[in-house]
Amino acid sequence: MRILGIDPGLKLTGYGIIEWTGQESPLRPPTLIDAGVIRLDAKAQLASRLHELYRELDALFEEFKPQVCAVEQLYAHYNHPRTAILMGHARGVILLAAQRHGATIKQYAANRIKQSVTGHGHAGKPQMQRAIQLTWNLPTPPDPPDVADALAIALCCGRAMQVERAIKGK
C-alpha cells in the first residue's frame, strides 16, 4: 500500500511517500519512494498559494498514486489562533486533493506521530530528523525538517494501520 504523508504549510509543505507491505519491522522499514517539499511563494496572495499547493499535490497524486494520504491534525494554540486558521486552509486543500484522487484520508495528532517515530511525544525537530535518518539509513538527516515530518506522518500511518488490521484479525 502506498502512503503519502503530508506536513501542511503555506510556505513549505513537506511530503513523503512510502510503500507499506505489512511485513515491516524495526529492522525492515517500509520502502521510501520519494520525499521533498512543495515551496510556495510567501509573498503571493493566500488564494494563489493555495492554488499552487493544490496543483503540486495533484501532480504528486497523479505520479505516485497513493492509496492513503496521512496528514497531521490541526493544533490550535490559544496564543496563535490566526496560525491555526491559516493552516486550516492548507489542510483543506490537502484533504480536497486526496479526496479527489480517491485516497483514504488518515489524520494523526502531532504527539502521536512523534511518539510513533521517536518513542517520545514531545520530540523536537532535530530528534525527528535523526529518527527518520536512522529509519532509512540516510547519509544525512532530511532537510528541511518538513521532509522528516512528512515521512514520520507516513510511517506513523503505516504502523497505525498495521495495528488496526491486527486488532480486527485481518
Q: Which residue numbers are catalytic?
A: 7, 72, 146
Query: Residue 164 carries which side chain, given as an amino acid letter?
Result: E
Contacts of residue 144, defined as CB under 8 A and 6 or more positions apart, other chains included, come to 12, 14, 37
Name which of 121, 110, 99 is nearest 150 in CA terms: 110
Rounded Cα–Cα distance for residues 25 and 42 (Å): 39
Strands 68-72 and 2-7: parallel
- Rounded Cα distance between 100 and 103, Å, is 8
- CA 88 to chain CA centroid, nearest Å: 15
Helices (H) and strands (E) in the chain, counts: 5, 5
Is the CB of residue 50 less than 8 Å from the CB of residue 68?
no
Question: Are 70 and 106 a contacting pair, CB within 8 Å?
Answer: yes
